[in-house]
C-alpha cells in the first residue's frame, strides 16, 4: 500500500508534503491523492465527516481510523492497513509509523472508523 512508502517521514504540524514533513491529516490527504486520486482537505475532525462509518470488525485496508488524543473528538487520524494495524503521523517527537489498534494507548482513544472507498 502506498501509505507504507511514507514510513519514517518526519512530522510537521500542518504538513501536507512528505519532503517537508506530514501531520496525521496531511498523511491521509497525501496518500489518498496519490494512491486513489481523491482530493481531501482539512484536519482530522473534518475528515471524520467524510464517507460513511464502519464497524471495527468491518475495517478494510484504506479505511480511516479516528482517535481522541488531545482531549477533543477526532483529534487524530490514521489509515487502516489490515491485521489490526494502522499507519499514522503521530506527533512532533516521531515519524510516520505503524501501530496496533489493540495497544492500550490506541484502544482507549479509538473513536470510530470511516470508509471513503466503495
pLDDT on residue 60: 97
Identify which has the larger pLDDT, 68 or 5: 68
Which residue among 59, 67, 76, 79 is the active-site one?
76
Q: What is the pTM of this model?
A: 0.95
Q: Among 33, 36, 27, which residue's Cα sits nearest to residue 3?
A: 27
pLDDT on residue 95: 94
Q: Is the per-residue pLDDT at 1 higher than 80?
A: no
Is the Cβ–Cβ distance between 56 and 82 less than 8 Å?
no
Which residue among 24, 40, 48, 54 is the active-site one?
24
Residues 6 or more apart whose Cβ sits within 8 Å of residue 95: 7, 8, 9, 10, 11, 89
Tens of pLDDT, residues 36-62: 999 999 999 999 999 999 999 999 999
pLDDT on residue 9: 93
Q: Is 63 a catalytic residue?
A: no
Percent of the chain with pLDDT over 70: 100
Percent of the chain with pLDDT over 90: 90
pLDDT on residue 117: 86
How much is the mean pLDDT over the chain?
95
| Mean pLDDT computed over 29-36 | 95
pLDDT on residue 90: 92
Q: Is 88 a catalytic residue?
A: yes
Q: What is the domain count for the chain?
A: 1
Which residue among 31, 88, 96, 113 is the active-site one?
88
- CATH at residue 20: 3.90.1720.10
| Boundaries of domain holding 106 | 2-115
Amino acid at each position: 500500500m502506498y501509505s507504507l512508502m511514507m514510513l519514517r517521514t518526519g512530522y510537521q504540524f500542518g504538513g501536507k508534503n512528505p519532503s517537508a514533513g506530514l501531520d496525521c491529516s496531511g498523511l491521509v490527504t497525501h496518500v489518498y491523492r496519490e494512491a486513489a486520486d481523491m482530493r481531501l482537505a482539512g484536519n482530522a475532525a473534518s475528515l471524520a465527516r467524510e464517507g460513511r462509518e464502519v464497524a471495527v470488525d468491518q475495517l478494510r485496508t484504506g479505511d480511516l481510523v479516528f482517535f481522541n488524543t488531545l482531549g477533543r473528538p477526532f483529534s487524530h487520524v490514521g489509515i487502516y492497513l489490515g491485521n489490526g494495524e494502522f499507519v499514522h503521523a503521530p506527533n512532533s517527537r516521531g515519524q510516520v509509523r505503524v501501530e496496533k489498534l489493540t495497544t492500550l494507548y490506541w484502544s482507549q482513544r479509538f473513536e470510530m472508523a470511516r470508509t471513503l472507498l466503495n
